[in-house]
Each structure stands twice: as C-alpha cells, then as structure tokens.
Amino acid sequence: MMEQTKAVAALAALAQDTRLSVFRLLMQTGPDGMIAGAVAEAMDVPPSTMSHHLAKLEQAGLVMSWRTSRLIHYAADYAGIHALLNFLMADCCRGDPNACADLLSAITCSASPEGAGV
C-alpha cells in the first residue's frame, strides 16, 4: 500500500498543466513510451523544460525512464499509477463494493481522452 506522503507527491506532480498533459500522453502511448525529444515536441515545450517535468513525474512514481544508446525513453509507470489509485480507493464506501460500483463503472479507457492536449 502506498504511503500518504507518496500519494501527496504524486498528486502534486499532476497538479500542473504541462505535467498532467505529459502524463496523459504517456498513458496513451503504452509501455513502449516515447523518447524525451518526441514528448517535448508533442507538447510544444523546450527540451530542457520538458526534462524538468519528466523528472518530477518520475520522482513521483508516475513515469519511468530507460536509456538506449543516447536516447532516453519515458513511459507511464503502471505499478506506480496502480498504487496511487489503490491508495485513493482503499477506503471507498467503507469497503462495500456495491456502493462504489457506479464510480468504478464510470472509468473507461478510450483512444483519445477528451482534453488530453495531444
């Protein structure tokens, strides 16, 4: 189970317009992710600024990175996202899954989330 301080850090990282857009973009790209330069280009943000945003998301446990040759790839960290969602939902409806059914059924995956900025 995620600690509250880690959940606060993750939510704080997402509480910024560019980082939220980057996070949503990386969620769309799946486990293969994108190279840092492509993320910066897609978001129309200078590479040095994007490096800062990606580092904040990685420190918060929401994205992960790896290097191949001179390229740094970034992808959503699904384990970290899962931990955050579990933390947020752990006490939902006092453990009665029927009371949370409407909330959980409202969560859907789509190819292009509204307002993703991509």
Give the pLDDT mean for 100-112: 69
The residues that bridge with 74 in the sheet, in sequence order, are 34, 65
Q: Which tokens sit at 114?
A: 């509204």
How much is the pLDDT for 103? 74
Q: Which tokens sit at 20?
A: 């939220």
Q: Which band of pLDDT confidence, cut at 50, 70 and 90, is reported for residue 113?
A: very low
The mean pLDDT of the chain is 88
Give the pLDDT mean for 1-8: 89
How much is the pLDDT for 18? 97
Give yes or no for residue 9 having a pLDDT over 50. yes
How much is the pLDDT for 83? 93
Residue keyed to tokens 């943000």: 45
**63-68 and 34-35 beta bridge pairing:** unpaired
Convert the pLDDT of each residue in 39-82 to its tens digit: 999 999 999 999 999 999 999 999 999 999 999 999 999 999 99
How much is the pLDDT for 111? 56
How much is the pLDDT for 110? 64
